[in-house]
Structures are given as C-alpha cells and as structure tokens.
C-alpha cells in the first residue's frame, strides 16, 4: 500500500514543504529503491517481493513522479535538491545509511 510522508527541505528561500509517496515492506537491513527519470516506484514491482524476503524495502516516488506531487514553485529540480529531499525522507522514516539501488 502506498503511503505519503511530508517534511521540510532547506532551499535558498528557506525551508519548503515536500510530500512524497512510498511503499515499505519486508524486514532486515533497509534498501531504498530509486526509480529513473520519467518513471515511478511501480518500476520496482517485479523484484520488490523478492528483495523483501531478506531486507526492508522502501520504494519512493520522487517529487513530481508517480503519485508524489511536484516540488513547490521556485524550488529547482536538481541533484542538490533531490539529495536534500532524500536526506529528509530518510530522516523522517528513521533510516540511517540505507542501501540504495
């Protein structure tokens, strides 16, 4: 089941709210699954159950993809911003140094 989480991300204009959708399943060491540009978390469906047999699997819809709304107006969609989004997302979910694929 897809869940959403909201948090703030530091930007040049100060903290801005961000909301993303994700799915979390399995147990064990956390594995954060990132989709490619133009895709969504459903891209991982063929392997999620297999991976969840040995790990906690977290698949995220990056901002503006799948069911996650776009970043707030004026917030650039660049590597630095996505890095801050992922850092805040991991902090919100209590993920400390997850494996990433």
Instruction: Let me know if 87 is exposed, middle or buried by CB neighbors in 10 A (0-12, 13-18, 19+).
Output: middle
For the chain, what are the domain ranges?
3-100
**pLDDT tens across 26-44, in order?**
999 999 999 998 899 999 9
Confidence bin at 12 (pLDDT 50/70/90): confident
Interatomic CA distance for residues 40 and 38, integer angstroms: 7
- Give me the residues paired with residue 1 across strands: none
Interatomic CA distance for residues 58 and 64, integer angstroms: 18
Strand 16-25 vs strand 99-100: parallel, antiparallel, or unpaired?
Answer: unpaired
**pLDDT tens across 31-88, in order?**
999 999 889 999 999 999 999 999 999 999 999 999 999 999 999 999 999 999 999 9
CATH assignment, 3-100: 3.40.50.1820
């Amino acid at each position: 089941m897809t869940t959403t989480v909201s948090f703030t991300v530091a930007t040049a204009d100060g903290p801005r709210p961000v909301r993303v959708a994700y799915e979390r399943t399995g147990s064990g060491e956390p594995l954060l699954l990132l989709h490619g540009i133009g895709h969504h978390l459903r891209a991982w469906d063929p392997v999620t159950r297999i991976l969840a047999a040995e790990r906690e699997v977290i698949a995220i819809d990056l901002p503006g993809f799948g069911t996650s709304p776009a970043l707030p107006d004026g917030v650039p969609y660049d590597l630095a911003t996505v890095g801050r989004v992922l850092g805040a997302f991991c902090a919100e979910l209590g993920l400390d140094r997850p494996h990433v694929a």
